[in-house]
Amino acid sequence: MEIYAHIDEGGGPLPSGRMYGMAAALSTSSDETALRTGLRATLLPHQDHLHHREEGAKRRIEVATTIAELSFTGAVVVTRTTTNTQQEAARARLLTWLLPHLQHVEHVDRIIFESRHTGDQHDRRTGRWLRQSHRITAQMRIDHERKRGDERLWLADFLVGSYLAAQLHNDPEPWEIITSAHVIDVITDPR
């Protein structure tokens, strides 16, 4: 049985700077069909993917309630305070902590990032550096996928979006619903 981590990012303004975050939603190969079907069931007729930022307050609660009922292993949310111009550097720093954690602590076999098209090269560079420095091994596969290509990326998006909304926008209910049902580790400014 393989363990997957689907990773997506989010961010929001702080009084001074910006909070940048990433969520890694953990699931197993045996959960895949039910998880993807359950996430697809949250879509409205006009939607082809789920995105936290595009949903209203009532709908976020409905989606969070559905997510709370789904079977996934857990998640890791990492955040870093940064500036508007240093988000790529913040992403690299978070990945430098997150990828070894996912491989060596969570025993993840495969990472799937939401594709950022030309931005994917930065993730690949960070992955190569981590392999060359022996912080992760080649056994952990790292891929990029478009959001519409894998519903589990919607889960990662909704997790990071809910966390940031609770922290930055006084919108805690979706985050509280999800965390009442699932273990989600939150790591702030990892070293």
What are the domain boundaries of the chain? Answer: 8-96+147-188
User: What is the pLDDT averaged over residues 112-118?
Assistant: 92
Can you give the pLDDT at residue 68? 98
Can you give the pLDDT at residue 43? 97
User: What is the pLDDT averaged over residues 14-24?
Assistant: 94
Residue 155 has pLDDT above 90, yes or no: yes
Q: Specify the DSSP class assigned to residue 180.
A: T
Comparing 85 with 66, which gets the higher pLDDT?
Answer: 66
User: What is the pLDDT averaged over residues 58-62?
Assistant: 98
Q: Specify the DSSP class assigned to residue 175.
A: H
CA 28 to chain centre: 15
Gap between the Cα atoms of 79 and 68, Å rounded: 22
Confidence band of 118 (pLDDT split at 50, 70, 90): confident
